[in-house]
Amino acid sequence: MERTLILFKPDAVQRRLCGRLLSRFEDKGLKLVGMKLMRISPELAAQHYEAHKERPFYKGLVEFMTSAPVVALVFEGSRAVSVARKMMGATFGFDAESGTIRGDFGISNQFNLIHGSDSAESAAREVDLFFKPEELQEYGVCDEAWLADE
């Protein structure tokens, strides 16, 4: 099973969308194994977004991500990274297809509600940034056999 990090960004928390967004991932069949409401420190934001450090939007992104609480989640499931990315939709809400999170809830290019790991390697790194191993839960679910055919 693959894991992915999902962040409900400050705009999702401020707009009180967390419950609706969480239910989409659970409805899809991904298993929640970690969750916390937190404030991202400037240091954590710098680590998380280090790949964008030289980009012109970096400073504003760090400021935005540290401006209010986020919800950090870890989901587990078959092809969790690609499933979550597809559910999120295109980066900019005005480009995102209806039926995706960004397509249904956003039109901004600056405030795009959600972050998801872009690869299994990124997911492993990001999960380790946001969660200690003891904060992640191992458990079975009754519908597991019905959700994956791998």
- Annotation says 115 is catalytic: yes
- Asked if 43 and 112 count as a contact pair (C-beta separation under 8 A), the reply is no
Query: Residue 39 is which amino acid?
Result: R
Residue of 105, 115, 130, 131 with catalytic role:
115
Query: For residues 83, 77, 137 and 72, what is the CA-based torsion angle, rounded to 10 degrees?
Result: 0
CB burial of 90-124 (b: ≥16 within 10 Å; e: otherwise) equals: eeebeebeeebbbbbbbeeeebbbbbbbeeeeebe
Closest by Cα among 12, 128, 27 to 74 = 128
Instruction: Round to whole Å and give the CA distance between 116 and 38.
Output: 17
Token output for 114? 């959600």
- Active centre residues (catalytic): 115
